[in-house]
Amino acid sequence: MNKTELVAAIAAKAGLNKDQASKALNAFEDAVTDELKAGGSVALVGFGTFSVKAREARTGRNPKTGETLEISASNVPAFKAGKGLKEAIN
């Protein structure tokens, strides 16, 4: 499912038109992004938690040349599925 299909599904389930569903999805994405940028997390009970995890610097290898290179530390987004979501798919 891509974003267009997700917007259509949200519109159908919530009784909204596609423009309203698109605005709602974009607002959700912006709110989660802003909270993660601030170093927080977003917990949706029964669905899951969005958070930021720190990735340490490490040594990598260029697969084409075999040359080693340093990969800098970074923050990466993470999602941990909640109990309700896990039960729904099993």
Q: Is there a single domain that holds both residue 34 and residue 44?
A: no
Name the pLDDT band for 2 (thresholds 50, 70, 90). Answer: very high
Q: Which domain holds residue 30?
A: 1-38
pTM above 0.75, yes or no: yes
Name the pLDDT band for 30 (thresholds 50, 70, 90). Answer: very high
Domains identified in the chain, total number: 2
Q: Is there a single domain that holds both residue 45 and residue 70?
A: yes
Q: Is there a single domain that holds both residue 67 and residue 79?
A: yes
Q: Is there a single domain that holds both residue 72 and residue 87?
A: yes
First to last CA, the chain: 19
- Count of CB atoms within 10 A of residue 22's CB? 18
